[in-house]
Amino acid sequence: MVKLSVKINEQEKTYPIIINDNPVSTLKEDILSRLEGKKFLVVISEKVEKLYGKALGFEKSEKFILKDGEKEKNFKNYKKILERALKLQLTRKDTIIAIGGGVVGDLAGFAASTYMRGINFIQVPTTLLACVDSSVGGKTGIDTSFGKNLIGSFYQPNVVFINTNFLQTLDDRQFKTGMGEVVKYAFIEKSCLSEEDLNLTNYLSENIEKILSRNLRTLEKMIEICVKLKISVVQKDEKESGLRKILNFGHTYGHAVEKFTNYKKYTHGEAIVKGMDFAFNLAVKRNLIDKNYKYFWDDVIKKFNFKSIPDYPPEKMVKLMKMDKKAEFEYITFILPTDYSEVAEFKLTEKDLQ
C-alpha cells in the first residue's frame, strides 16, 4: 500500500492518494470511513458496475449508473446527477463518489464542484489513464458540441483510492491508452521538477514484460511514480498558468487527430502517442534534440507496440490546432522535447510549421 499526499496551496487543502491491490470488496468500507456526512451518491461506470457491482456492494438507490463513452460526459447527465443529489437531499457535508474512468471522474467531479457550491468528492479511478492522469490534479468538466472540456472547474477531491485490481479486466486497447500517458511522463520527467529521482524511463525499460502482463505490484509502482510526477506539477501550478502545461506534451497534435477523426477512430492515448511523435519530429527539424534521442523514442513506442496512426493533411491539422482552446492568437503552443526527459513550451506560427 502506498499513500501519497497532495497539497494545493491556494485552497490549503491536503488530500491523500491511496494505491493498493486490496480486494475490491474492501473498498466500500474504506470509502465510508472517509465520509464527513452520512449521505452519498455513487456515480459508477456501467462496465464497472457489471464487473464489480456486487463486490463493491453499494445499494441501487445509492448509485447513478453512467453508460460508457466520451459522449456521456454531457449536460444531460450532469443535470441528472444533480437532480439525483437533490432528491437524496445531499447537504454540503455529504459526498459524491466517482467510480470509473476519466469520463465518470470528470463529470461527477464537475457535479460535486457545483452542487451547493461544492460538496465532498471521492475518486476511485478504474482505468489506467484515470489512475495516472485524470483522477489527480482536480480538472473536472463536461463536453459540448463546441468542444471537449470547455465547461468545467478545478476542484480537488477529498481522497483518491487507486485499486490496481480494476486494471486486470481492462481491455487491451484501454490499457494501452493509459500506457500512452505513462510513457508521456517518462519523456517529461525532469521538467516535472520532482525532488525525488524517480527514473520512470529505467523503470519502464526494466519492467516492460511485467507491465504488459499486468503484474499488480509492478503496476502499483509504475502508477506511484506517475502520480508522484503529476503531484509535483499540480502542487506548483494548479491552474495551468505555467508548469502544468508540460502535461500537454503530445496533446496539441493529438487533440487535432482526435477531432479530425471525430473522436471515433482512436482513443485519447493513441492520439497523444501520435502527438508526441509529431513533437519529436518537430524538435529534430528545429534542432532542439539530436537524432539519437528521436531513435530512442522510436524504440520505446515500438516496444510498447502502440497503434500506428497515419499523417493527416497538414493544412487541416494546422487549422484544427489553431482552434484548440490552448491556442493563442496566431500562435500554436507546443510542448517539445529539448533533452532526455525534458520538455519546454514553444509558440509557433503557421509559417514555422511549414
Interacting residue ranges for ligand GLY, rule: CB under 6 A:
133, 137, 139, 240, 244, 247
Active-site residue, 220 included: no
Residue closer to ligand GLY by CB (options 49, 133) is: 133
Please identify which of the residues 47, 228, 230, 259 carries the catalytic annotation. Answer: 230
Residue closer to ligand GLY by CB (options 49, 189) is: 189
Residue closer to ligand GLY by CB (options 46, 240) is: 240
3-class state of residue 238 by DSSP: coil
Please identify which of the residues 251, 258, 270, 274 carries the catalytic annotation. Answer: 251
User: Judging by DSSP bridges, how do beta strands 95-100 and 147-154 pair with one another?
Assistant: unpaired
Give min distance, CB of 233 to ligand GLY, in A: 8
Active-site residue, 228 included: no
Residue closer to ligand GLY by CB (options 204, 247) is: 247
Q: Taking a C-beta distance cutoff of 8 angstroms, is the pair 193, 242 a contact? A: no
Burial zone of 17 (CB within 10 Å; 0-12 exposed, 13-18 middle, 19+ buried): buried
Active-site residue, 181 included: yes
Please identify which of the residues 255, 259, 270, 274 carries the catalytic annotation. Answer: 255
Residue closer to ligand GLY by CB (options 137, 254) is: 137
Rounded to whole angstroms, the Cα distance separating 72 from 67 reads: 7
Give min distance, CB of 110 to ligand GLY, in A: 14
Please name the residues in contact with 322: beta carbons below 8 A apart, sequence gap of 6 or more: 330, 332, 350
Q: Where are the beta strands (DSSP E) in the chain?
A: 2-8, 13-20, 40-45, 63-66, 95-100, 120-125, 139-144, 147-154, 159-163, 332-339, 342-348
Please identify which of the residues 60, 76, 117, 291 carries the catalytic annotation. Answer: 117
Active-site residue, 120 included: no
DSSP state letters, 143-193: EETTEEEEEEEE---SEEEEEGGGGGGS-HHHHHHHHHHHHHHHHHGGGGT
Please identify which of the residues 46, 70, 72, 240 carries the catalytic annotation. Answer: 240
What values do phi and psi take at 5, rounded to 5? -125, 135
Active-site residue, 255 included: yes
- Looking at the annotation, which residues are catalytic? 117, 139, 181, 230, 240, 244, 248, 251, 255, 268
